[in-house]
Amino acid sequence: MDSLSDLLAKEGFIRDNPKPNSNHKKVKFNRTVTAPDHDSIALPIYICRNRKSFDVPKHKKTASIVSSKTRRSSVSGRSDEPAIDEVATKAVISILSGYAGKYLKDKGFRDSLRETCCSCLVRGNNGSLDDRVFANMELGIESIEKLIDDPGTVKEMKVKLLRNSIGFLTIVASLNSKESKPNTPSQNPNSHLSACAQLYLSIVYKIEKNDRICATHVLQVFVDSPQLARTHLLPDLWEHFFLPHLLHLKIWYTKQIENLSDDVLKDQEEQMTHLSKVYEDQMDVGTVQFAIYYKEWLKTGGQPPATLPSVPLPTINLLSSSSTRRRRSSSFNSFLQRAIFGNDVEKQPSMEFDYGAMEKEQEDEHCLDDYNASQQINIESRLINLSCQSFKTQTQVTNSRVNESSPDLTQAISTISSSQSLPECEMAIRLIAKAWLDDPLIERSLSKPLVIEGMLEVLFSSNNEEILELVISLLTEFVTRNEANGKIILNFDPHLEGFMNLMRNSSLFLKAASLLHILKPKSHQMTSTEWVPLVLRVLEFGDQTQTLFSVHCSPQVAAYYFLDQLLTGSDQDWMENGRQVISLGGLNLLLRRMLNGDIVEKIKGVSIIHRCILSDGRCRHYLADNLNPEIILELLVHSKELDFNEITISLLIELICLHRFEQRTKLFDKLLKGWDCLNTMQILLVCLQRATREKRPLVAAIMLQLDLMGDPLESSVYREEAIEALIKALDREVFNEDVQEQAAKSLLILGSRYSYTGTPEAEKWILKEAGYDENFESGFHSRYYVVDGSKNMNKDDEIEHWQRKAAMSLWMSGGKKLIGTLGESIVYGVPCLARASLVTVAWISKFVHTVGDGDVLQSNEFSTLIRHLLQYLNRDNTIEERVLASFSLLSLSKSSDFLFDILDDEKRLMMNHLKSMSKVTWTAKRLASVIAGRGATMTEGCDGRRAGGRGDG
């Protein structure tokens, strides 16, 4: 059976590059321990699709991050980029059809399935059905098996067999169609036959390579007979695909079993029988609801239904007052730590430790709120406390207790350190846990490398979840009291293979994540491709605080820590992890958590999303449509820590670099609505004043872009402040390489042209305007090409209008000061700033003749800029830089007569440079003509330019 990660890898959703780990220590036990099959992560594709958490009150509604409208717009906006829902749908189909495809490859599975279906035929042959029904079923199965056993069947015969199979099986499958009720497991006696027929129909369509219909029939198996499907027909698929939706039922059932009294066996048996029936029935109900949910998803063509099914906990009370009293004397069990320290733990944003004394005995009833219905579970918690009058008395009581249990504890420590028997070590764990709960002061006897390593071997080998939970709790206590114990654990499992296996466990993954978080592993230890889906599952389901003896842990805090590590490793690894977060729907989950989370969670979410954009810039378009801008503005207002403010600014910078102009302006409109009665520009102005020198030019770029939504002819204090900040960042007298690099990025953003991945493309656009293409340039022997002006005219016109407004804003408000600093940056700035300044001058100069200020054109700063541009025509510079300089000079010549002031010697030198460039750009030829004064007027230059190559792209 293919695992989920294998199936996704086949479809191209995730990479498959597991790194072998030869350093992991083998367990010491002699007997072979068969660990649960966790190859397939219990993480169906529904993750991050608006699952309501267990502790969300009923009155809170978690809105779907991906609305239908958004999906339609995102898909129609760019047809060559698959929508996230489309990717998820393909994964669902791949997973479901993959299980049907198992029939084609695994003879053992074929034999087992036939045996199961034959037994259903025997049970169904009670006289109520026509014999033709059984004949149809048998003929359908035989036709399929004949195709599998004889793959060389001719095409015509194959088609005939497939059609016959569909006809026979459809008759049997229809037996259950009329009697079934939606959203409920069918009670029709024919449901087993119908489920078997549906499964064989899915196999037929898998043979036909129609995976979507195949997946639909697989889901119908769970609708017709959920119990048979999940226990006999497709138990692996149910466990990996449906069970994660229904984990709350399993947890509830486990707790109910623990609450049953050990006394009065007759009552216990009756209660157990009733409890099991209620649990199984509710599991069937939930299975049917989610099977129908996924069927509807596939019917809608890739858009999941708006509402996720809600499966409430059964309402049942198995504890009487007498059994409650008997339960006080019950033996130690897997939930003793909750009985001692309380089970009603409020959600906490960070980890807390409680070493309080145990003082009195009391009984409480706790109520668990499920996500859509109210269910009550009576749980007795017991607080045991021995009041101590003084430190001396406490010491005497403790020493007495340790002395009484010393022989058993000593034997348990010896067993866990040296025994080769897993059952003996598991019993030792129980004794050690009980001794710890009686007296945590025995830590010194237990916090030894041999003892901890022995516990780890049990943790990575045992299948007993009660023992696993005890070991996790003990190790958590050890590490929180002494960090050196954490180093022992990480040295034992340096590549975290054992912990990764625990994280696959559907019952203990939250507790395992809590322990691992305390250990603070680093990115180089989390190299497996499976970490991302495992961590996303923790974030999705980790609403409730985990109580590990006296330590309270937040799985969500752990998940954010893990994501931060996964996205900050080596360049290749973190970028691959970021793309995997996106492909698995992690952005949906992060957006939803940020929407309802506190300020700390919002900041962590912003940091992770920013890294995701850096790993795959295409996701910025989805985020621009679905991220609520109020979250960003709220963080800018409330983030007192400078680092938090900077990461928020970095995210906002990435968001505004959108390829589609219409989407960009929509985002600007949403941003300008402000937050909590605060003006957006005022918020950004305060950020500009508080930001570090490195971030100020970026904030200035954001302010200038938003300012362009208004009239650039109107005065604006925000524009003046932003341009002033930009000029200071360009000032070569205040040299700082980091500041200049950020200033270069800000200038390129102001160019207002970006690729689909968010890369600024103002330079690429100017070079095309100049008729230059590096793909055709080869030793200056290729001719420049003509840009087709008929394509994308509307889009380019909108962007050019925006650039014209930007040029007007910078030229008129920045004036001589800005032109002077740009000229100096071209010559004296760091390479990236020099290139960005040259590009900025090029696109501004394109519009100067429409917005030019006479005072600026007559200034010394402008003359200095011209001199610097003339120097760039020299052959010592790259061909791209020379083309940009020639384009700028030609554009500026339409507004100024500076070319006629150039000395004759300089003109001859210029003509030589331009002649060598004339084969790669029409601007060189046109500029040479203007310099020579051969009757080329400014208007003719513009017309000639359009004849030689489109200039108004």
Q: 768 vs 205, 887, 950, CA distance in Å? A: 51, 11, 9
Strand partners, 874: none
Q: What is the C-alpha to C-alpha distance for residues 561 and 575, in angstroms, rounded to an integer?
A: 17
CA dihedral 110, 113, 118, 120 (to 10 degrees): -170
Q: Which long-range contacts (CB under 8 A, 24 or more apart) does 913-916 make?
A: 913/873, 913/874, 913/875, 913/882, 914/873, 914/886, 916/780, 916/875
Model confidence band, residue 665 (pLDDT cutoffs 50, 70, 90) = very high
**Integer Cα distance of 437 and 550 in angstroms:** 9
pLDDT at 302: 61
Q: Which helix (H) or strand (E) holds 553?
A: strand 551-553
pLDDT grade, residue 48 (50/70/90)?
Answer: very low
Beta bridge partners of 374: 369
Tens of pLDDT, residue by residue over 404-429, are 446 788 999 999 999 889 999 999 99
Is residue 507 over pLDDT 50?
yes
Please give the radius of gyration of the chain, using alpha carbons only, rounded to the nearest integer: 35
Lowest-confidence pick of 140-149, 451-460, 831-840: 140-149
At residue 854 the predicted structure's pLDDT band, cuts being 50, 70 and 90, is low
How far is 396 from 557, CA to CA, in rounded Å?
A: 40
Q: Is pLDDT of 25 > 70?
A: no
More confident of the two residues 552 and 305 = 552
Q: Where are the domains of the chain?
A: 106-233, 744-948
Dmax over CA atoms of the chain, in Å, equals 114
Where b means 16+ CB within 10 Å and e means fewer, 333-359 reads bbbbbbbbbbbebeeeeebeeeeeeee
pLDDT of residue 49: 40
Q: Contact 481/516 with Cβ under 8 angstroms?
A: no
- Band of pLDDT at residue 126, cut at 50, 70 and 90: low
Question: What is the secondary structure of 338-365 as a DSSP string?
Answer: HHHH-S-----SS-EE--PPP-------
- Average pLDDT value for the chain: 75
Q: What is the pLDDT of residue 46?
A: 38
pLDDT of residue 191: 82
Q: Encoding tokens for residue 527?
A: 């190299």
Residue 335 pLDDT greater than 50, yes or no = no
When pLDDT is averaged across residues 836-851 and rounded to a whole number, the result is 88
Of 465, 468, 474, the closest CA to residue 551 belongs to 474
Q: What is the pLDDT of residues 698-719, one digit of tens each?
A: 999 999 999 999 888 888 899 9
The CATH number of domain 106-233, selected from 1.20.140, 1.20.1050, 3.40.50, 2.60.40 = 1.20.1050
Residue 813 banded pLDDT, cuts 50, 70, 90: confident
At 559-595, the pLDDT tens digits run 999 999 999 877 678 899 999 999 999 999 999 999 8
User: Does residue 374 sit in helix, strand or coil?
Assistant: strand
Mention every residue, 6+ apart, whose C-beta is less than 8 A from residue 944. Answer: 926, 936
Residue 4: pLDDT over 80: no
Question: Mutual orientation of helices 680-690 and 696-707 as an angle, nearest 10°?
Answer: 160
Q: How far apart are CA 719 and CA 266, in angstroms?
A: 82
- In the predicted structure, residue 734 carries a pLDDT above the cut 80: no
947 vs 107, residue with greater confidence = 107
Q: Single out the residue of 880, 894, 886 nearest to residue 852, CA to CA.
A: 894
Measured distance CA(812)–CA(249) in Å, rounded = 67
Mean of the pLDDT values across residues 214-232?
A: 91
For the beta carbon of residue 385, count every other beta carbon within 10 angstroms: 13
DSSP 240: I
Q: What is the pLDDT of residue 131?
A: 64
Whole-number pLDDT of residue 223: 92
CA-closest candidate to residue 827, choices 915, 730, 723: 730
Q: Which residue has the tokens 């809105």?
A: 63
Q: At what angle do helices 465-481 and 509-519 cross, to 10 degrees?
A: 20
pLDDT at 938: 39
Residue 508 CA, distance from chain mean position: 22
Reported as a pLDDT band with limits 50, 70 and 90, residue 265 is low
- How much is the pLDDT for 450? 93
Stretch 177-206: mean pLDDT: 69
Position 152 pLDDT exceeds 80: no
What's this model's pTM, rounded to 2 decimal places?
0.60
In eight-state DSSP terms, residue 934 is S
Label residue 467 by pLDDT band (50, 70, 90): very high
| Band of pLDDT at residue 828, cut at 50, 70 and 90 | confident
Per-residue confidence at 382, pLDDT binned at 50, 70, 90? Answer: very low
Residue 397 has pLDDT above 70, yes or no: no
Q: Are 338 and 538 in contact (CB under 8 A)?
A: no
Interval 748-779: pLDDT, tens: 999 999 999 999 999 999 998 888 866 544 43
What is the average per-residue pLDDT within 512-533?
A: 92
**Are residues 630 and 680 in contact, defined by beta-carbon separation less than 8 angstroms?**
no
Are 884 and 927 in contact by the 8 Å Cβ rule? The answer is no
DSSP string, 581-645: HHHTTHHHHHHHHHHHS-HHHHHHHHHHHHHHHHH-GGGHHHHHHHS-HHHHHHHHHH--SHHHH
Higher pLDDT, 100 or 480: 480
Query: Half-sphere exposure of residue 437, counting CA atoms within 13 Å on the CB side?
Result: 22
Which residue did the predictor score with more confidence, 259 or 477? 477
95-109, 353-367, 449-463: least confident range:
353-367
Residues 6+ apart with CB under 8 A from 579: 615, 616
More confident residue, 799 or 896: 799
SS3 388: coil
**944-948: average pLDDT:** 42
Using the predicted structure, report yes or no on whether residue 916 has a pLDDT greater than 90.
no
How confident is the model at residue 53, as a pLDDT? 35
Please count the other Cβ atoms lying within 10 Å of the Cβ belonging to residue 179: 13
Place of tokens 């939504």: 709
Residue 920 has pLDDT above 50, yes or no: yes
**Which of 110-119, 553-562, 898-907 has the highest mean predicted lDDT (pLDDT)?**
553-562
Q: What sign results for the dihedral spanned by CA atoms 733, 736, 740, 746? A: negative
Range with the largest mean pLDDT of 197-201, 835-839, 939-943: 835-839
C-alpha span between 42 and 538 (Å, rounded): 11
C-alpha to C-alpha distance for 383 and 362, rounded to whole angstroms: 6
In this predicted structure, which of 13-27, 431-445, 878-892 has the lowest mean pLDDT? 13-27
CA separation for the pair 386, 204 (Å, rounded): 69
**CA distances (Å), origin 298, targets 211, 293, 686:** 11, 9, 49
pLDDT tens digits along 337-373: 343 333 433 333 333 333 333 333 333 333 333 333 3
What was the pLDDT predicted at 568?
Answer: 86
